[in-house]
Amino acid sequence: MQFSKGFIRKVADATNLVDLISEHGITLKRAGTNYKGLCPFHAEKTPSFNVNPLRGFFHCFGCNTSGDAIKFLIQYDRLSFSEAIEELSKRAGIPLEIESGSSRRANPDEDKGLRCLREAAAFYCEKLASPEGNFAVKYLGQRMVPENMWEQFQLGVSPDEWQGALNHLQQNKISVPDLLRTGLVKLSEKSGRHYDTFRGRLMFPIRDLRGRCIGFGARAIKSEDKPKYLNSPETSYYQKSQVLYGLYEGLSSIRKLRRLIFVEGYLDVIRLHENGFTDSVAPCGTALTPEHLKIARKYANTVVLLFDGDSAGKNAALRHAHLLLPHALESYIITLPEGDDPDTFLLKHGKTGFEELLERKVPALDYLVQQTIRKYPDSIQGRMQGLEELLPTLNEISDPKRRQISLMAIGERMKISADILAKELKRKANKNLFNKDKNVTLNRLSNNPNISQDEQWLLQSLLRKGELWPLVREHLYPEEFQTPQFKQLFAKLLQLPDAAFQAFDPLKLEQSDPELFQSVMLLLAEEIPSHDFGLSLKRIKERNLEINFQESILSSNSNEERAQAGLKRRKEEEKLKKIKQIFDNILTL
């Protein structure tokens, strides 16, 4: 569903953010013009969650979550953007205005597919409770999965027959095309008849964040049944790279802990939840992908990856350490003792044993360095070879500050001096490290790892707040942008007169500068309401400050020079505070 910008603004304006947040059970206390409380997005004892009712924004200084009423519902209640708008309009008593022309009703195929899966999940559950499911009950007993876990994860069993689910679901008026689309039945080319995909298997319903069954993982019970695991096919609502098993079941504790433990299998997840590690998740029928880590970032600051102790497990751990490093997550690796998987480890050593194991987790960066060094001789030459191997992964860290800090950490652990490191970095920089300037036209924003989110937000709100331009000219320069496309875009926008932004009409650019027009439209097309301009500005400037500081520290040769750099940084920080105030004042007027 699409809403006009005007409607979104109307709904947001009609919402009292303090009331909305309080209604969600979060106690807010007045502090000046703002309100303060304990952050619902991370665990804390002293309140760092701030709500600004005038501007309709919240921000947590502890975990940096921030946004408006819509974002709050998206983050806290896990609603989609449209659902959040619907919820707020209902709350404010404003009738929904769906944009004509672009209005798309919910996909009817999707509704039918979800109904089909819901009925199937109920059917498999019933079978587990019936005498027909005895073989599965016996299996669960052997695997020592207690009954409360069957319920919590809504485990079921598919009957060991060719048309059990098919007949039952057809009786419930579910059509064969829906059954085919959701992958519950297949068509035999030989006989031309339909048959159940899942037969005689333990069924793990995979649920989305609203608790809806969107697919199944199915484990063979008889050892002769192959393959061991079968999974539902991907559909519009079930995309393997977007789903984590256990996330729905553990959501409330994950929100509190801001941590995720990644394991491989469904039964591992269940065993961990059983032992109180309810922040455990697993990818469904696929390896861990960067997309999964992007999801992880929404819920967690820390991720812990568990691997089996055999050589395959160790190789996987190293591969994953490379995968983890570019993401802004505190990430750790644990390798289990040889011969164990998380399930068997917990059965042997229990909760305390696992807690001890968790304490021995190794930061992904350290793991990466340790394992890489091991491959090469212990000499400067060897270490340089190792560094060479790590540089491409470092290259993928898009935030320059994090890249710099990681590089310094690696240098320290590999005992490579800052001098050599700086030279290496420069050499790489000349080659390709920062060479992303070539492609100046943007063609997508969402999930684009090469663009800075703050820069995007800043530009998006600038294009909507014409009154900021006279000040922006004074305080923000194109070279402060890190994303090349944004740098260029901002420089071009600066050439327009202030008056052009009062009632900004991007269509006027279509003829005069098609490239600029395209980029501006891309920024305006995303249905994101106003952002905290001052905050994004501050973070961009702070980031640049930090980079400049790190660079001058790296290139300074004496304590005196380093002290100078520190002094300069403190002065810049003071300046920055004043600039932030100027913008805050203008925005609260």
Question: Residues in the site for Zn ion, rule: CB under 5 A?
Answer: 39, 41-42, 60, 62-63
CA distance readout (Å), 469 to 278, 452, 488: 49, 21, 17
In 26-141, where do the E strands start and end?
A: 28-31, 34-37, 49-52, 57-60, 66-67
Smallest distance from the beta carbon of 42 to Zn ion, in angstroms? 4
Smallest distance from the beta carbon of 60 to Zn ion, in angstroms? 3
Cis peptide before 227 (omega within 30 of 0): yes
**H-helix segments, 481-558:** 484-494, 499-502, 509-512, 514-525, 533-555
CA distance readout (Å), 462 to 245, 518, 531: 40, 16, 9
Q: With respect to Zn ion, which residue has the nearer C-beta, 41 or 354?
A: 41
Q: With respect to Zn ion, which residue has the nearer C-beta, 63 or 94?
A: 63
Smallest distance from the beta carbon of 355 to Zn ion, in angstroms? 25
Q: With respect to Zn ion, which residue has the nearer C-beta, 39 or 407?
A: 39
Smallest distance from the beta carbon of 41 to Zn ion, in angstroms? 5
Q: With respect to Zn ion, which residue has the nearer C-beta, 258 or 464?
A: 258
Q: With respect to Zn ion, which residue has the nearer C-beta, 63 or 362?
A: 63
CA distance readout (Å), 526 to 11, 43, 283, 509, 522: 17, 31, 29, 19, 7
Query: What does the buried/exposed string (b/e) look like for 259-298 if buried means 16 or more CB atoms within 10 Å of the residue's CB?
Result: bbbbbbbbbbbbbbbbbebbbbbbbbbeebeebbbebbee
Q: With respect to Zn ion, which residue has the nearer C-beta, 75 or 550?
A: 75
Q: With respect to Zn ion, which residue has the nearer C-beta, 48 or 163?
A: 48
Smallest distance from the beta carbon of 540 to Zn ion, in angstroms? 21
Smallest distance from the beta carbon of 300 to Zn ion, in angstroms? 12
Give the CA count within 13 Å in the CB-facing half-sphere of 527. 17
Smallest distance from the beta carbon of 36 to Zn ion, in angstroms? 12
For residue 333, the surrounding DSSP H or E stretch is strand 330-335
Smallest distance from the beta carbon of 59 to Zn ion, in angstroms? 9
Q: What is the DSSP string of 305-324?
A: EEE-SSHHHHHHHHHHHHHH
Q: With respect to Zn ion, which residue has the nearer C-beta, 46 or 171?
A: 46
Smallest distance from the beta carbon of 58 to Zn ion, in angstroms? 10
Q: Cβ of 193: how many Cβ atoms within 10 Å?
A: 12
Strands 280-283 and 259-262: what pairing?
Answer: parallel
Smallest distance from the beta carbon of 335 to Zn ion, in angstroms? 31
Q: Which two tokens stand for residue 525?
A: 């097309």
Q: Tokens 């941590």: give the residue.
A: 259
**CA dihedral in degrees (369, 372, 377, 383; nearest 10)?**
-50
Q: Among residues 56, 40, 39, which one has the least CA distance to residue 48?
A: 39
Smallest distance from the beta carbon of 52 to Zn ion, in angstroms? 15
Q: With respect to Zn ion, which residue has the nearer C-beta, 303 or 333?
A: 303
Q: With respect to Zn ion, which residue has the nearer C-beta, 62 or 200?
A: 62
Residues 6+ apart with CB under 8 A from 349: 356, 357
CA distance 223 to 371: 36
Q: Which two tokens stand for residue 376?
A: 């090469």
Q: With respect to Zn ion, which residue has the nearer C-beta, 42 or 464?
A: 42
Q: With respect to Zn ion, which residue has the nearer C-beta, 14 or 63?
A: 63
Q: Can you say whether residue 95 is alpha, beta or left, with left for phi > 0 and alpha for psi between -120 and 50 degrees? A: beta
Q: Which two tokens stand for residue 556?
A: 């300074």
Q: Residue 40 carries which side chain, given as an amino acid letter?
A: P
Smallest distance from the beta carbon of 65 to Zn ion, in angstroms? 5
Q: With respect to Zn ion, which residue has the nearer C-beta, 63 or 586?
A: 63
Q: Residue 524 carries which side chain, given as an amino acid letter?
A: L
Smallest distance from the beta carbon of 21 to Zn ion, in angstroms? 13
Q: Among residues 164, 274, 150, which one has the least CA distance to residue 205?
A: 150
